[in-house]
């Protein structure tokens, strides 16, 4: 893509719209009748003389159970929106299962889950679903209705099962388990987090933070943003420091939103806002656990980093978007068959109220306040590790900042796989084969197009493990537990502090880039090289064609080795790339008035960097003379952020140690 260049003052103006402190009060709508009706007919209970099988609880999914012999049972799960007359093309998801089994005797049972989508690749790669035992006399429904501190860590991966692809192309999982007498054992595709559980969890946090008997500096407010089509609450959390709250003034009601009579969220001083949402796709529970990591961290009263985040930002959080889909145990759709993450262009209050509300809220804050980041949390069944999707920004300097945040996040997190992170035009348009709708209608792309917000990301996590082949820095290929997802969420927040230069830590300082300036230089150099080589030179265009979008972020060395030196016509291509250099220089010179040597310098610097990564004695990268971005293009003073650089490094295993 071609970038346009412009100076930093223009950019600052474009990020931060003027602030209007007084927002007009708007009319409230009537409070609709609110009683939840479980419309889902797929949550059922089956009684046998030796066992009970049930999915009759929030997020449950098991539509049928047959007894094949005394100790063997066959289960079927429902596809999203089963029983509703939908286009066959969209009614295809049979991935999420969640059911409970209670045995009357201490008995070993064989259970076959018989009709899953063909995710053979996932299971071949070592995927393990999850299970846990409940307390004696505890019903699954009551379990989902309540929250006890740290109970989520009792879920375990189920190791001892077999699987096969049937003639019907359905995947079958065969479970053998010795059931304790009269205790429910729950089985799920991945660590569940139901709508009911989430409500109980939010109540727990609310009661802890807003306990009147103690003094807390945390402002935590939980309110109903809108009701879903089946009249469930879509919640909106506000988390910040009490210093940021205007005690005598309330936030305005927005027409159609906040259905309870009086909105009582306090107005906030002019601080940058960070909007985070999750579970637009109901089966993507790793997204929820990343979100829970974020919520738990932000409400931690004893953590200096969390305090700094609350002090400097206002967090607006939508923990579960697709509340109906989550309640029904869907994988990807809502209960009317919509993929809600393809509805952002034209949402309607009746058709997709959740999206209507989030969009309205986001645009409200963007127009009247300073929204600084937006994250939408997801999970990806096809990958290992975690990664971010970003947008391709027109202005080079903005795009560097956009990518730089993702890069910092990758340095901070042990799970982000940089090779998977994509910030291309292509990933703003691609269609998902299941639902033929383009990514232009996702929150990430649409919010960016509407507001120009630089830091707009989708954060995706694998369901099961990391994978960092060829990346020596990260060798975490262990199966993910809940705290791994939570750590990714927490590291996203730490990365904000690092990127905003509110703190520094060893992960940045001891990296080959030394500090955030070094990171920025590296990203800018890489982007220039990609941009110029791929756009100007015929030979390299062919190279670029070979490199699909996923590999856009390969290091220069890899590009050289794999696509220039490694190919049959390597000499030809190499010659062509050398011939292209003068042209690149000329173009750069005319476009930017840059020193024509800058591209050469970038190549030399990048090569030196690669060398220095292999050989720590080489320190050529420290030469800052040709540093294109020596002026920090973002002026921190404009944010009014509170700096506090000398915090102790945070323990990577904070959840691990707390919860063992």
Q: Which residues lie near Zn ion (CB under 5 A)? A: 281, 284, 378
For residue 287, the minimal CB distance to Zn ion (Å) is 7
> Would you say 281 or 359 has its CB closer to Zn ion?
281
For residue 382, the minimal CB distance to Zn ion (Å) is 11
For residue 379, the minimal CB distance to Zn ion (Å) is 7
Residue whose C-beta lies closest to Zn ion:
378
> Would you say 284 or 491 has its CB closer to Zn ion?
284
For residue 288, the minimal CB distance to Zn ion (Å) is 11
For 352, the token pair is 């997709």
For 590, the token pair is 């005319």
Question: Angle at CA 610, nearest 5°, toward 617 and 602?
Answer: 115
> Would you say 378 or 439 has its CB closer to Zn ion?
378
Alpha-carbon torsion, ordered 109, 110, 115, 119, to 10 deg: 110
Helix (H) or strand (E) holding 99: strand 98-103
> Would you say 284 or 401 has its CB closer to Zn ion?
284
> Would you say 378 or 605 has its CB closer to Zn ion?
378
For residue 386, the minimal CB distance to Zn ion (Å) is 13
For residue 331, the minimal CB distance to Zn ion (Å) is 10
For residue 464, the minimal CB distance to Zn ion (Å) is 16
- Closest to 529 in 3D by CA, of 596, 437, 600: 600
Question: Angle at CA 344, nearest 5°, toward 97 and 22?
Answer: 120
Calculate the CA 205 to chain-centre distance: 22
> Would you say 7 or 382 has its CB closer to Zn ion?
382
> Would you say 316 or 342 has its CB closer to Zn ion?
342
Rounded-to-integer distance, Cα 578 and Cα 140, Å: 67
> Would you say 209 or 386 has its CB closer to Zn ion?
386
For residue 280, the minimal CB distance to Zn ion (Å) is 6
Q: How far is CA 586 from CA 502, 581, 599, in A?
A: 39, 9, 10
Query: What is the Cβ-side half-sphere exposure of residue 197, based on CA atoms within 13 angstroms?
Result: 23
Which single residue is written with the structure tokens 């009911």?
196
Q: How many CB atoms lie within 10 A of CB 441?
A: 18
> Would you say 330 or 526 has its CB closer to Zn ion?
330
> Would you say 284 or 500 has its CB closer to Zn ion?
284
Rounded-to-integer distance, Cα 650 and Cα 642, Å: 19
Q: Are strands 245-250 and 156-157 parallel, antiparallel or unpaired?
A: unpaired
Please compute Rg for the chain using Cα positions.
Answer: 26
Helix (H) or strand (E) holding 495: helix 482-499
> Would you say 458 or 598 has its CB closer to Zn ion?
458
For residue 444, the minimal CB distance to Zn ion (Å) is 11
Backbone angles phi, psi at 350, to 5 degrees: -90, -35
For residue 421, the minimal CB distance to Zn ion (Å) is 16
Helix, strand, coil shares of the chain, percent, nearest 5, are 35, 20, 45
- Closest to 194 in 3D by CA, of 128, 77, 285, 291: 285
For residue 283, the minimal CB distance to Zn ion (Å) is 9
Q: How far is CA 189 from CA 68, 147, 292, in A?
A: 23, 20, 19
For residue 336, the minimal CB distance to Zn ion (Å) is 18
Q: How many CB atoms lie within 10 A of CB 492?
A: 27
Helix (H) or strand (E) holding 338: none
Interacting residues of 449 by C-beta distance below 8 A, sequence separation 6+: 440
Interacting residues of 10 by C-beta distance below 8 A, sequence separation 6+: none
The answer to whether residues 439 and 429 touch, using CB atoms and an 8 Å cutoff, is yes
Question: From its phi and psi, is residue 92 left (phi > 0), alpha (psi between -120 and 50) or beta?
Answer: alpha
For residue 467, the minimal CB distance to Zn ion (Å) is 19
Rounded-to-integer distance, Cα 46 and Cα 63, Å: 10
The answer to whether residues 283 and 341 touch, using CB atoms and an 8 Å cutoff, is no
- Closest to 652 in 3D by CA, of 488, 493, 420, 479: 488
Question: From its phi and psi, is residue 440 left (phi > 0), alpha (psi between -120 and 50) or beta?
Answer: alpha
For residue 375, the minimal CB distance to Zn ion (Å) is 13
> Would you say 311 or 439 has its CB closer to Zn ion?
439
Sign of CA dihedral 645, 646, 652, 653: negative
> Would you say 311 or 378 has its CB closer to Zn ion?
378
> Would you say 463 or 553 has its CB closer to Zn ion?
463
For residue 333, the minimal CB distance to Zn ion (Å) is 11
> Would you say 263 or 378 has its CB closer to Zn ion?
378
For 537, the token pair is 């030179």
């Amino acid at each position: 893509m071609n970038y346009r260049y412009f100076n930093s003052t223009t950019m600052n103006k474009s990020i931060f719209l003027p602030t209007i402190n007084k927002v007009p009060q708007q009319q409230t709508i009537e409070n609709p009748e609110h009683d939840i009706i479980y419309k889902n007919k797929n949550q059922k209970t089956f009684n046998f003389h030796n066992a009970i099988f049930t999915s009759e609880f929030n997020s449950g999914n098991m539509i049928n159970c047959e007894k094949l012999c005394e100790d063997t049972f066959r289960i079927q799960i429902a596809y999203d929106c089963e029983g509703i007359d939908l286009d066959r093309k969209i009614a295809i998801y049979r991935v999420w299962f969640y059911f409970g089994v209670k045995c009357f005797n201490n008995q070993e049972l064989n259970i076959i889950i018989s009709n899953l989508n063909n995710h053979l690749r996932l299971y071949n790669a070592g995927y393990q679903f999850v299970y846990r035992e409940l307390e004696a006399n505890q019903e699954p429904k009551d379990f989902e209705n309540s929250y006890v501190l740290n109970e989520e860590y009792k879920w375990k991966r189920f190791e001892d099962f077999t699987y096969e692809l049937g003639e019907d192309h359905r995947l079958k999982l065969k479970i053998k388990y010795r059931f304790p007498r009269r205790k429910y054992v729950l089985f799920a595709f991945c660590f569940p987090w139901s709508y009911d559980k989430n409500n109980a969890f939010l109540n727990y946090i609310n009661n802890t933070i807003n306990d009147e008997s103690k003094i807390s500096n945390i402002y935590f407010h939980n309110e109903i943003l809108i009701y879903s089509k089946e009249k469930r609450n879509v919640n909106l959390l506000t988390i910040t420091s009490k210093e940021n709250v205007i005690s005598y003034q309330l936030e305005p009601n927005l027409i159609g939103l906040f259905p309870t009579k009086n909105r009582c969220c306090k107005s906030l001083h002019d601080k940058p806002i960070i909007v985070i949402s999750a579970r637009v796709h109901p089966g993507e529970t790793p997204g929820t656990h990343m979100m829970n990591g974020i919520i738990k961290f932000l409400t931690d009263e004893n953590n200096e980093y969390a305090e700094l985040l609350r002090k400097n930002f206002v967090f607006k959080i939508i923990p579960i978007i697709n509340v109906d889909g989550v309640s029904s145990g869907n994988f990807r759709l809502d209960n009317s068959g919509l993929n809600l993450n393809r509805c952002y262009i034209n949402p309607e209050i009746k058709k997709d109220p959740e999206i209507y509300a989030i969009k309205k809220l986001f645009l409200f804050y963007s127009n009247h306040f300073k929204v600084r980041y937006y994250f939408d949390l997801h999970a990806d069944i096809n990958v290992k590790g975690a990664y971010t999707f970003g947008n391709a920004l027109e202005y080079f300097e903005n795009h560097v900042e956009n990518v730089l945040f993702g890069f910092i996040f990758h340095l901070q997190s042990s799970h982000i796989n940089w090779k998977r992170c994509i910030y291309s035009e292509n990933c703003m348009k691609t269609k998902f084969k299941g639902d033929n709708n383009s990514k232009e209608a996702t929150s990430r792309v649409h919010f960016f197009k509407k507001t120009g917000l630089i830091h707009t990301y989708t954060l995706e996590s694998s369901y099961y493990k990391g994978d960092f082949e060829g990346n020596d820095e990260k060798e975490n290929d262990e199966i993910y537990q809940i705290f791994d997802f939570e750590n990714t969420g927490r590291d996203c927040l730490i990365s904000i502090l690092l990127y905003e230069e509110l703190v520094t830590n060893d992960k940045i300082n001891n990296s080959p880039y030394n500090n955030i300036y070094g990171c920025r230089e590296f990203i800018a150099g890489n982007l220039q090289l990609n941009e110029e080589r791929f756009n100007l030179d015929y030979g390299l265009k062919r190279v670029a064609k070979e490199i699909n979008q996923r590999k856009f972020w390969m290091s220069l060395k890899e590009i050289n080795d794999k696509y220039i030196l490694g190919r049959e016509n390597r000499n030809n291509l190499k010659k062509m790339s050398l011939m292209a250099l003068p042209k690149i220089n000329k173009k750069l010179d005319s476009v930017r008035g840059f020193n024509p040597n800058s591209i050469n310098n970038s190549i030399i610097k990048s090569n030196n960097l690669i060398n220095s990564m292999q050989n720590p004695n080489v320190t050529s990268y420290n030469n800052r003379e040709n540093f294109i971005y020596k002026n920090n293009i973002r002026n921190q003073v404009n944010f009014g952020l509170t700096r506090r650089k000398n915090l102790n490094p945070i323990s990577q295993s904070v959840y691990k140690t707390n919860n063992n």
